[in-house]
Chains A and B, each alone.
Chain A
Amino acid sequence: VALSGAWPGEAARAEQDAWFEDLVRTHGSKVRSLVYRLVGGEAEDLVQDVFVQVYRSLPGFRGEAQVSTWLYRIATNRCLDYLRRHRRTEGKVISLENCAEEHSLEPLAVPLASPEARTVAVDLRREIRRCLAALPADLRAVVVLRDLEGLEYREIAAVLGLPLGTVQSRLHRGRNLLRDKLGPYLEG
């Protein structure tokens, strides 16, 4: 069953399972990246939790929302729940700083001219990761969904179940905090 096709609904379990596997293959990496960006180093178990939740929610999926929006909603809510339950880990910079080494986070390919430039870029990436991790979870979710995942405002509103105005104001507050922290890197 191709994912481009509609959700098979109350079809045989084998068909539903095939659809689920196709879903993982098509959207798995994006969901995994999102989970890592939202919770950092403790994400591996959470990725599995998200897909277990997706599997359990399949019978309720009516195909009215886009599959990606629906997946992002489950993943984001699961991450926010996790962060709420482990509030003490917010700003627990160490685990996020180490997550690249521990959990195979790799930088996107950026052409760098010299070893010095590479060192600067690594430091900068670490600083960005630290600043994102220090944001309050509700602001971080909006910034990650917009600036890293590239979702439109209305998609973020659908994923988080928020009014458009709230999405805009959270994005503004989140970016303001980042601007303050990353100020030196923004001077041009």
Chain B
Amino acid sequence: MRCPDPVQLEAFVDGELPAERLAEVARHLEGCPTCAGRVRQTQRLVTLLRRHQEAVSGSLDAGLLLAAARRQADHHRTVRAAWRRSLVAAGLVLALGAGATAYQIGLVPTPAGFSDPFSQALLREHQRFESALAADRELNVQVATLEQ
């Protein structure tokens, strides 16, 4: 068997090889001092790291962490709501601004600009109605004068 690559040798040390591959590598190690040396070095390194690792003393205060987490979550909710309100307000201002600008530069037609027959007829009807209303108001004024 050819020498396994170094990654495979580490997987052997870590017990991460499938059973049949594990047996093959184990047989290989019996006859290959180079690979056996690599495996020994990895084992020593892992043992060294584990034996001399440090633990963090003291336990965490769950209540305190919960309070901090809730405070942060509430803060994020408030900020998000403020952003939403600001966005809606900005949208409204933009829409109004765009409408006013469009009206000013003539993108939105004025009544006189309606050129199709239906709009013209509607306009004439509206003018007739306005005249009738004015005449009616005039008549009312005359009647009121006579009554006095």
Contacts and interface: CB of A to CB of B under 8 A. Distances in A.
Interface of A: 17, 20-22, 24-25, 28-29, 32-33, 36-37, 47-48, 51-52, 54-56, 100, 103-108, 110, 121, 124-125, 128-129, 143, 146-148, 152-153, 168-169, 171-172, 175, 178-179, 182, 185-186, 188
A28 B61 CA distance: 9
B41 to A, nearest CB: 6
B52 interface: yes
Nearest to A106: B57
Contact of B50 (A47, A129, A148, A186): A148
19 contacts: A24-B60, A25-B60, A33-B55, A37-B53, A51-B69, A106-B55, A106-B57, A107-B54, A108-B55, A124-B52, A125-B54, A143-B49, A146-B14, A147-B49, A153-B11, A168-B10, A169-B7, A186-B44, A188-B40
B45 A108 contact: no
B11 A168 contact: yes
A186 B70 CA distance: 48
Nearest to B67: A17
Query: Chain A contact residues: over half helix, strand or loop, or mixed?
Result: helix
Interface in B19-72: 40-42, 44-46, 48-60, 62-63, 65-66, 68-70, 72
A146 B19 CA distance: 20
B130 interface: no
A78 B55 CA distance: 20
Task: List the 10 closest pairs (A to B, CB-CB), nearest first.
Answer: A55-B69, A28-B60, A24-B62, A21-B62, A105-B54, A147-B49, A186-B44, A51-B65, A52-B72, A106-B57
A52 B76 CA distance: 11
B16 A20 contact: no
B6 interface: yes
Given A17-B66, A28-B59, A28-B62, A129 B10 contact: no
A24 B59 CA distance: 9
Contacts of B6: 172
